A and B are shown apart, each in its own frame.
Chain A
Amino acid sequence: MPAAIHTAGLTRTFRTKNRTVEAVRGIDLTVEQGEILGFLGPNGAGKTTTLRMLTTLLPPTSGTATVAGHDLIADPKGVRERIGYVAQSGGVDPTVSVREELTTQGRLYRLSRSEAARRTEELAGELGLTALLDRPCGALSGGQRRRLDIAMALTHSPALLFLDEPTTGLDPGSRADLWQLIRRLRDHRGMTVFLTTHYLDEADALADRLVIVDDGRVAAQGTSAELKRTYAGAADAGLQDAFIAITGRRTQREEEETPVAV
């Protein structure tokens, strides 16, 4: 079975008048079909740039990649047809109704008018959005909005779903619901999920395998237990300890949440 994502030497350099920034310095990555991959790294490690390249939003400077069976550089349209993407900040217009957003999204994936309408009802049912279909997106709670973002990404039944920090800003209940949904997508649909997160507990609980990037390169990869054993000395150690050992830093989220002694 071919890998859902395979990259070799993927790089991205940003050039301005005054300086050149190598945001990604050669990422070699393989994500198997049907796995949930946690893509972690400290702030500025190259996570977002890598994600943007893999979702066709940013062309790589060099390297090769195959995403969902299509060459990222030669056939970005083929990639777009097979992936779903949920951005960190979502992607819905607060003034537009849930139904309008879902149906238009279906139409953008070449569904006929009636197919798009049927798929809208189907997804709304699956994700608990039926009662909200005629409300403006701006009237939804954070958790409801996130479910809508995911429903939008699932309109065309993609083989591979990219989730960029999907639980940021959600209350614990909504977060737990979302974890359950992500697991369901993998278990029931065999969907591959590429997940970036700053929450190490989330990565630990959800991901089948973790890739930790630092300074634009893959610094470590393996299952959570493997990383803990290799870098923190024991399989039952905290993932945070392994993360610090690998990167020398806490995640941005952990830094924000660590109380400052006074």
Chain B
Amino acid sequence: MSHVFTDTGIIAGRYIRQTASSKLSLLFGALQPLLFLVLFGPLLEDLHLGEGGDSWQTLVPGILVQLTLFSSAFAGFTILMEKHNGVVERMRVTPVSRLALLLGRLVRDSLQLFAQSLVLVLVGVAMGLRAPVAGVLIGFLLVGLLAAALASLSYALAMRVNSPQEFAPVVSSLNMPAVLLSGILLPMTLAPGWLDTLSRFVPFRYVVDAVRDAYTGHYADGSVLLGAAVAAALAVVSLGLGTRVFRRVSA
């Protein structure tokens, strides 16, 4: 088991150094959510969005989850490139732990997401967001769990398919309805009954609701706990599946 930790550290270190040397990709990764915040956020300022908090407490958590959905769901692209270059196969012939091959990547993804989320929240504060520090930290924890879940699934899918042409349509077609039905941009409580009901079948909705409640300081009304439970369950199932694929698949 100690090898898993050591190997995870080695793999994570490699990818962190690689990501840190590509500052431009870090910046562009956070650019779209920042544009949403700066160019879309002001439109909502005077609207009543049917939630406990103000528009920034509604929008920033939504954009955080959107950033997580997009960056994590497409994380598998890096594996496709590495498969093409023979890197995955080369690593699989070493004694490195199979679980570490997945966990190391997830550590890098989580750190990258944390850095981008931090920038997003700081820009949000400059735009007018006011939220309790504990709520912001709970939000980071929830999107971290969600990121681990989605990135695991994305890596598992990328290990199974052979080309970006197979990978991208699957991810895009799953991601778009997830974004629309999670109430990322506007709360689903504004939706007509049928849409609100439909969105309750999308697990990400509970995470969005939980982060919003955390940002308004409503920790005790159950939605934070429900969101955390959903995110944790997704992470456990997805990590299990991802590990299974990394152990078994012939890359």
Contact = CB atoms under 8 A, between A and B. Distances in A.
Contacts of A100: 14, 17-18
Contact of A89 (B7, B85, B93, B251): B85
B82 interface: yes
B218 interface: no
A174 interface: no
A77 B93 CA distance: 9
Interface in A59-118: 77, 80-81, 83, 85, 87, 89-96, 100, 104-105, 107-110
Contact of A104 (B10, B93, B251): B10
B93 A107 contact: no
A218 to B, nearest CB: 23
A83 B95 CA distance: 10
Given A57-B251, A96-B18, 20 more contacts: A57-B89, A57-B92, A77-B95, A83-B93, A85-B90, A90-B85, A91-B87, A91-B89, A91-B90, A93-B85, A100-B14, A100-B17, A100-B18, A104-B10, A104-B14, A107-B10, A108-B91, A108-B94, A109-B95, A110-B95
B89 A108 contact: no
A90 B250 contact: no
Is chain A's binding surface mostly helix, strand, loop or mixed? loop
A90 B87 CA distance: 8
B106 to A, nearest CB: 17
A87 B96 contact: no
A80 B18 contact: no
Interface in A30-68: 52, 55-58
A5 interface: no
B94 A109 contact: yes
- Among B87, B91, B250, residue most surrounded by chain A Cβ atoms (within 10 Å): B87
A89 B94 contact: no
**10 tightest CB-CB pairs across the interface, nearest first?**
A91-B90, A91-B86, A108-B94, A85-B93, A80-B95, A107-B10, A108-B96, A89-B86, A87-B86, A104-B14
Contacts, number: 64
Contacts of A23: none
Contact of A91 (B3, B14, B85, B250): B85
The interface residues of chain B, by DSSP majority, are classed as: helix
Residue with the greatest number of chain A CB neighbours at <10 A, chosen from B10, B82, B86, B90: B90
Contacts of B13: 104
Contacts of B82: 93
Contacts of A232: none
Contacts of A80: 93-95
Interface in B68-114: 82, 85-87, 89-96
Given A58-B250, A91-B85, A152 B90 contact: yes
Contacts of B87: 91-93
